[in-house]
């Protein structure tokens, strides 16, 4: 038989099969564009402008619609009200994590970010509680961040005000904060062990944003059968995880149960208490999974936000000047900024919120999954269906934030210049899966940015109006275009 005929036959069968599947069991899924066999609706989604593509679909099909990414139906939730109704109103049902095959490869369902069920619940509860405990006391997380901010300032001084690309250092800084929380010590930026850890992390965040990996996530069979950079990804994580294992072993030898020092110590203590329980989540493998989650979740997100913040500050020098006035007035030059200062610095607070709103770092959140059959707005979403939530649609809502395409700290200020909260501010998502590091992230963004601006004038290499702030959208996290700037000591 002719190859073409075979292909046509296969395609026809698949088409019939997919129609049959949709018209029977999946009959009550929300409406959406008609999918093609195998690729589904992928050809109808402009990957360069997913937000606009989703907005367009929502105009035709309403705020809840179904897209087929490959063969899998995915329900998209568009608009703040819809997202709130699902992630908060039906919090439990929408709290599952959708499958991300490339992460399953390394985490195997362990840890917190890509796990489900009791593993997720207990891991999340433990992590939040431990972060809270570590947030208090003499060596609190705030102190650790302040200390790291001073090291950053020293490093930036070494550039002598010459043009500098801060991409690498701005990943080192949040990574060191995680190290400090997990195993109590930070690294010198030039430390060989640290540099190679950073290289692996950076290489992997590049891989995560490659087109090939997006394809693998939609067609997971490729991961098992094709060569490709997902293999480097796996090896790099294995390297990081074997380093973490040596750290855990060191901790076991020096553990003092009456005086836990860091995240690993708290976990080991819990592991000892639970060792009779065969269902315990306190296992070596899960600890490594949790630590990997924190490195991955806590490094790239902060780096991208800080870099983007610097770029926007260069583009809007009057905004920078106003923050520096506020720093002069509230903090002065003699001491480091601390979290207490934030309450008296409404303008700075508004700018940081506006940066996060404007850059919209995770436009479609991490995928969720419904944990059981859910009736939602007259539709029936079957258990296990992937749910995408368009965080962009809330952050760029034009009633809540007039002229959403404009960077304007006024979006978070009232008429008297006080900070104005908004429910639509959900860059960390919302509900039961809300970013586990939100508190930590907000501390870092405030302390790092104010410490930088307390110590340096930022100088752009091109006139502010010529600065390109078009984001590079790829994978889960958005990043700014490459740029250099000068840090001129004040
Ligand atoms: C600007 C900084 C950050 C942003 C914008 C951000 C954003 C997000 C988003 C959108 C999610 C997915 C929420 C959902 O599924 O509904 C998430 C999850 C998560 N983030 Fe962050 N994040 C940031 C920083 C951090 C930091 C510093 C950590 C370090 C501990 C962290 C750890 C995590 C973890 C472990 C999860 C998974 C939570 C779960 O699945 O239950 N993130 N983050
Ligand atoms: C959205 O719709 C507008 C007008 O119908 C069209 O011009 C635009 O190309 C669409 N954008 C995307 C990304 O699909
Ligand atoms: C251990 C390992 O496989 N490391 C790789 C991490 O990623 C970089 C960049 O892709 C590779 O060059 C390394 O070999």
Chain segment 405-418, per-residue pLDDT in tens:
999 999 999 999 99
Query: What pTM does this model have?
Result: 0.93
Q: Whose CA is nearest to atom 27 of ligand 1?
A: 298
177 Cβ below 6 A of ligand 1: no
Tell me the average pLDDT across 372-383: 95
Tell me the average pLDDT across 212-240: 82
In the chain, the percentage of residues whose pLDDT exceeds 90 is 77
Give the Cα separation of 400 and 240 in Å (integer).
43
Give the distance (Å) from ligand 1 centre to CA of residue 463: 35
DSSP 193-208: HHHHHHHHHHHHHHHH
Band (pLDDT 50/70/90 cuts) for residue 477 is: confident
Give the distance (Å) from ligand 3 centre to CA of residue 309: 29
Spatial CA neighbour of 302 closest among 390, 258, 361, 366: 361
Query: What is the greatest pairwise CA distance in the chain?
Result: 83
Give the distance (Å) from ligand 2 centre to CA of residue 55: 9
Long-range contacts formed by 109-112: CB under 8 A, 24+ apart: 110/285, 110/286, 110/288, 110/289, 110/290, 111/286, 111/289, 111/290, 111/292, 111/293, 112/289, 112/290, 112/293, 112/436
Calculate the average pLDDT of the chain.
Answer: 92
Ligand 2 atom at minimum distance from 56 CA:
1
440 Cβ below 6 A of ligand 1: yes
The predicted pLDDT at position 96 comes to 97
Residues 345-358: pLDDT tens digits? 999 999 999 999 99
For residue 374, how far is the Cα from the chain centroid? Answer: 27
β-bridge mates for residue 329, sequence order: none
Half-sphere exposure in the Cβ direction for 382 (13 Å, CA): 12
Q: Which residues of 256-274 are buried (b: 16+ CB within 10 A; e: fewer)?
A: eeeebbbbbbbbbbbbeee
Band (pLDDT 50/70/90 cuts) for residue 164 is: very high
Tokens of 113: 């970010």
Q: Is the pLDDT reported for residue 13 higher than 80?
A: no
Q: Whose CA is nearest to atom 30 of ligand 1?
A: 437
Give the Cα separation of 27 and 192 in Å (integer).
57
Give the distance (Å) from ligand 1 centre to CA of residue 43: 30
Tokens of 193: 């062990």
Band (pLDDT 50/70/90 cuts) for residue 225 is: confident
Tell me the average pLDDT across 324-339: 96
Q: Is the pLDDT reported for residue 24 higher than 50?
A: no
Q: Is the pLDDT reported for residue 163 higher than 60?
A: yes
Give the distance (Å) from ligand 3 centre to CA of residue 38: 32
- Comparing 136 with 149, the larger pLDDT belongs to 149
Q: Whose CA is nearest to atom 6 of ligand 2?
A: 56
Low-confidence winner among 11-25, 40-54, 182-196, 258-272 (lowest mean pLDDT): 11-25
98 Cβ below 6 A of ligand 1: no
Tell me the average pLDDT across 250-261: 94
């Amino acid at each position: 038989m002719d190859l073409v005929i075979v292909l046509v036959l296969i395609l026809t069968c698949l088409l019939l099969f997919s129609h049959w599947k949709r018209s029977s069991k999946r009959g009550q899924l929300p409406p959406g564009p008609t999918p093609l066999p195998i690729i589904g609706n992928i050809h109808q989604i402009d990957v360069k402008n997913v937000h606009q593509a989703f907005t367009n679909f929502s105009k035709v099909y309403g705020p809840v619609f179904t897209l087929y990414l490959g063969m899998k139906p995915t329900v998209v939730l568009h608009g703040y009200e819809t997202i709130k109704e699902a992630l908060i109103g039906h919090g439990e049902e929408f709290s599952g994590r959708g499958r991300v095959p490339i992460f399953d490869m390394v985490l195997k369902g362990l840890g917190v970010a890509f796990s489900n069920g009791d593993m997720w619940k207990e891991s999340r509860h433990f992590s939040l509680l431990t972060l809270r405990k570590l947030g208090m006391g003499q060596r609190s997380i705030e102190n650790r961040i302040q200390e790291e901010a001073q090291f950053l300032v020293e490093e930036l001084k070494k550039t002598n005000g010459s043009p500098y690309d801060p991409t690498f250092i701005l990943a080192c800084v949040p990574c060191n904060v995680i190290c400090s929380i997990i195993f109590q010590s930070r690294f010198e930026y030039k430390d060989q062990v640290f540099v190679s850890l950073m290289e692996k992390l950076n290489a992997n965040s590049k891989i995560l944003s490659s087109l090939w990996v997006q394809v693998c996530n939609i067609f997971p069979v490729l991961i098992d059968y094709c060569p490709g950079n997902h293999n480097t990804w796996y090896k790099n994580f294995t390297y990081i995880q074997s380093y973490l294992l040596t750290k855990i072993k060191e901790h076991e030898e020096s553990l003092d149960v009456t005086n836990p020092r860091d995240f690993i110590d708290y976990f080991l203590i819990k592991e000892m208490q639970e060792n009779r329980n065969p269902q315990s989540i306190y296992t070596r493998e899960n600890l490594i999974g949790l630590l990997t989650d924190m490195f991955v979740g806590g490094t790239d997100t902060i780096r991208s936000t800080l870099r983007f913040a610097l770029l926007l500050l260069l583009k809007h020098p009057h905004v920078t000047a106003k923050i520096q006035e506020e720093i002069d007035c509230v903090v002065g030059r003699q001491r480091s900024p601390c979290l207490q200062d934030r309450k008296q610095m409404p303008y700075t607070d508004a700018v940081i919120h506006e940066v996060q709103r404007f850059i919209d770092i995770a436009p479609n959140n991490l995928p969720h999954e419904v944990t059981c059959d859910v009736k939602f707005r007259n539709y029936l979403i079957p258990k296990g269906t992937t749910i995408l939530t368009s965080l962009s649609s809330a952050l760029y809502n034009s009633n809540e934030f007039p002229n959403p395409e404009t960077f304007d700290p006024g979006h978070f200020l009232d008429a008297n210049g006080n900070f104005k909260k908004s429910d639509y501010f959900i860059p960390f998502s919302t509900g039961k899966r809300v970013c586990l590091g939100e508190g930590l992230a907000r501390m870092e963004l405030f302390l790092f940015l104010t410490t930088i601006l307390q110590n340096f004038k930022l100088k752009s290499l091109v006139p502010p109006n010529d600065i390109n702030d078009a984001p590079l959208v790829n994978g889960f996290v958005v990043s700014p275009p490459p740029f250099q700037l000068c840090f001129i000591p004040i």
